Amino acid sequence: MRFVLCAFSRLAKPALTRLAEDSSLLGHKLESVTVGEHRLDIIELTADFQPLRRGGELRLVESNGTRCEGTPIRSLVKAVARARAWYEQIVTGKAGTVGQLAKKTGLPRSYVKRILRCALLSPQITENVLSGNHRPSLTLQELLQKPPIDWKEQNQEIFSPR
């Protein structure tokens, strides 16, 4: 993939200008471009990254990366947190059924039932989801697949490279 410095002219203009002027740090100059009043040299940076789409977000992850580096994925964290909170409400008797819980939260019963599966995830998976220490391509759909009851089997399924 190519990253072109002039595409970011509105963001951190002084830093980019300094970087473009001293392109000997990153390689040779390819050509020059003028953006507004600023003349920038285009520098080609290459790296082995893969685009990963998550809703409206685009992340660049290493092709051989097997783990995120401490970047929790909001949708996964939200699902695990909701599942734990809802599970506690059911166990303590604050909500007797999934239907009552759905009514209380104002969410569809089918959604509440699916998300509650995350309450049965192993402590290791829960910790890794909350800390962001998992493979970058892990999705909520994978977590919501009917997880095996055995935590060792869960860990093997979730942590296996895909």
Between these two residues, 4 and 126, which has the higher pLDDT value?
126
Structure tokens at 72: 């929790």
- Quote the radius of gyration of the chain (alpha carbons, Å): 23
pLDDT at 69: 61
What does the mean pLDDT of the chain come to?
75
Where in the chain are the domains? 5-42, 74-159
Q: Check pLDDT > 50 for residue 4.
A: no
Residue 81's alpha-carbon distances to 39, 59, 132, in angstroms, are 49, 23, 14
Model's pTM, two decimal places? 0.62
Q: What percent of the chain has pLDDT over 90?
A: 35
Highest mean pLDDT among 28-37, 48-57, 109-118, 147-156: 109-118
Q: pLDDT of 104-154, one tens digit each?
A: 999 999 999 999 999 999 999 999 999 988 877 788 888 888 778 899 998
Give, in degrees to the nearest 5, the angle at Cα 109 between 103 and 111. Answer: 120
Please give the structure tokens belonging to residue 112: 């509440």
Output DSSP code: residue 36.
T
Non-local (6+) Cβ contacts of 154 within 8 A are 121, 122, 125, 147, 148
